[in-house]
Amino acid sequence: MLRIWKTCFKRKYFLWWTLLGVAVGISLGAGLYNLNCSKLVIELIGYPGELMIRALEEIVLPLIMLALMTGVFSLRSTNSGTGRITRWSMLYYLLSMLLAVGLGISLVYSIRPGRGAPLDDGGISSCSSGNSTVPTSAADHSTVGSLLNIGRNAIPTNIVSAAASSNFLGIITFSVIFAFTLMTLGDKAEVVVKLIEVCNAAVMKIVLVLILFTPVGVASLIAKTILNACSIHLLLKSLGLYIVTVLSGLVIHSFIILPLTVFILSRRNPVRVFRSFLPALVMGFSTSSGAATMPVTMQCGEDYGCEKSIVQFVVPLGTNINRDGTALYEAVAVIFICQAHGVSLSIGSVIVIAISATLAAIGTASIPNAALVSFVTVLQAVSLPQYISDISILFAVDWILGMVRTSVNIWGDACACVIVDKWEKSRSKTTSSLPKYAEDKSSPSHEDGVHAGSELTVRSTNY
């Protein structure tokens, strides 16, 4: 019996169990929709999903803190070459993620998948209140006030109180600064660094265990969402438009924006780069895990012609930090939920969402469905925790969106690897072709020149 249980719940079959949960939830919700179930019955149906959401909310704080600090620790450099490559990689990662978030926000406001406010204003509570807009802190704040609050939230007066009030922007700031400070202490901080990395691994295991309950939680939450929907047809239409919005953003970012960055920044053929990394993209699509695909991505980079030292540094760094698809997805998802509740966001709140989505994506684990965990962070950043339960509607379609956005994340890592490799090779060529000093009475001998040239060669290839 135990052997059958382990066989059925292998990771490769998990997608099918999730799809079964989606089907059961839709069937249960649609079957009971016209029976006008009481609030108690609906609450009991959604209770397993509620527990799952509470568990996700519970784990999000240690997940964000530990994942971000572990990501910072991965930036530890042993020499100036690695430090230079780190700076170039980080600049490109930040640029590509901001471009992805900007594209996602533009599309979600152009397509407006949440038009008609298919979800009632109290989360998934009841339809009795209609679709009138309830003022929220996200809607009421002025643009200037929202922008000023970014700085206030980033620098809380009390880190414990920030954690208690779910001020994740302050937690993120503290985590990054604390991790960088630990790195400056050298060997003295190594014990603490190892402890944090072990704790991060433990939290990742907890997340994986929670994800195992996704099929049951998804079925529960989807059924409850359908039973509480004011208009099931409008809800399904909005969900379809949401899928179109996210996929459109991911496709445009993958086939237009990222190839343009490769061509402009490296002058290399993006089509050839795409074909070289295609095996990694296919594996990322099938596994929904950037971490599991990382060895294949590294091999593709070496086969393309990138320096092995560049590949071994940039790809793991990108796997931990670079999340183009996830950043785009989270920005679109939060604004979609707001539109579905009829909440109008100020410009300042949209900027907060853009920043929070980028930072939350950086702290997202490279495992399936992890983006839905960090999605909580973005909602908290714009003071909309009452809509966290609406994550259930996103679970219904996350299986397909998760596969696509993972491939986009890996494609972003590949582009970064190629661009940084080109920059480093150009720098090495420039350094090795520096003009020699004119001969004079203080000129070095031929033997000294050989040693100097050797030293320059070693320095130029010291990544």
Q: Is residue 403 part of a domain?
A: yes
Q: Is residue 440 part of a domain?
A: no
Q: Is residue 297 part of a domain?
A: yes
**Grouped pLDDT means (10 residues each) for the chain, 463 residues:** 53 67 82 81 85 77 78 59 74 91 94 79 41 40 59 81 74 82 87 90 80 79 74 78 94 95 92 92 76 81 87 78 87 89 83 82 61 70 75 73 88 92 82 53 42 37 34
Q: What is the pLDDT, as a whole number, of residue 323?
A: 85
Distance (Å, rounded) from C-alpha 88 to C-alpha 75?
A: 12
CA of 76: how far to CAs of 80, 190, 282, 346, in Å? Answer: 11, 12, 31, 39
Q: What is the pLDDT, as a whole number, of residue 434?
A: 55
Q: Is residue 444 part of a domain?
A: no
Q: What is the pLDDT, as a whole number, of residue 272?
A: 94
pTM comes to: 0.67
Q: Is residue 443 part of a domain?
A: no
Distance (Å, rounded) from C-alpha 138 to C-alpha 145?
A: 11
- Number of domains, the chain: 1
Q: Is residue 461 part of a domain?
A: no
CATH code of 402's domain? 1.10.3860
Range of the domain at 364: 16-431
Q: Is residue 172 part of a domain?
A: yes
DSSP element (H, E) containing 181: helix 168-184
pLDDT tens digits, 194-218: 999 899 888 878 877 777 787 888 7
Phi first, then psi: what are they for 427, rounded to 5°? -65, -40
Q: Is residue 360 part of a domain?
A: yes
pLDDT tens digits, 327-375: 899 899 889 988 888 888 888 888 888 888 887 777 665 555 566 666 7
